[in-house]
Amino acid sequence: MPPLGFLALSLLLLGVGPLLHWGLRHSHRSLERLENVLLWGVTAIVIFYILPESVEHSGWLCLTAAVVGWRLPTFLERRFHDISDQVHTIPLIVTMVCLLVHGMLDGGALANPGGSSHALPWAVIIHRIPDSLLIWLLLSRHHNWRLPTAALIVAGIATCIGFSLGTEFSHEIHEHELVGWLQALVAGSLLHLAGHRH
């Protein structure tokens, strides 16, 4: 498949999450089970993959960013009761920034499939399904459909930008030390959002 084909497929699959969520809306038990599996999966990915990769990339000190992303919204909510609703937008904003960077990295990977197996672009494409479901799941319960839709559009636009800039730009971003700090901050924010869902 040519690179543009991989890009088109990855963009289409961003719509699977909302469609799956909508299809299960009348089966509360099935939707609840799906949410639990996804949230436990996210927690496991954060603890066993994202945080260790962040430490390897930027050192142990970057775990302070994870603690900030995890505990700061709760601290602010308890300290300032009048703005508790606005406090929950902090991890959402952090997650949106991560979506932008993550989407650009994905786009760069799709720009140059490399090898006959095309393993990397297929990995990017396959993980678009849980990505889109997670975005919809985290943002749709306490917000209307506009915010999760906007988040998916941001992810799609970022993927196109990364695709147009190519693999060299993607590699440069990934090698930057701040990426480890950003990953750790996002990891903490995801833990906060996952815990808040429960």
Question: What pTM was estimated for this model as a whole?
Answer: 0.69
Neighbouring CB atoms inside 10 A of 85's CB total 9
- What pLDDT shows up at residue 11? 92
Give the chain's mean pLDDT.
78
Rounded Cα gap, residues 85 and 20, in angstroms = 28
Rounded Cα gap, residues 154 and 166, in angstroms = 18
Question: Kindly report the CA angle at 23 between 40 and 85, in degrees rounded to 5?
Answer: 55
pLDDT digits 0-9 by tens, 18-70 = 888 788 777 778 777 877 787 787 788 788 887 888 888 888 988 898 898 78
* DSSP-assigned states of every residue in 76-100: HHHH-GGGHHHHTHHHHHHHHHHHH
Tokens of 162: 């990364």
Confidence of residue 141 (pLDDT cuts 50, 70, 90): low
In the DSSP assignment, the letter for residue 62 is: G
Rounded Cα gap, residues 37 and 28, in angstroms = 14
Tell me what the mean pLDDT of segment 188-193 comes to: 76
In the DSSP assignment, the letter for residue 48 is: I
Residue bearing the bigger pLDDT, 108 or 195: 108
Selection from 100, 97, 105, 117 nearest residue 163 by Cα: 105
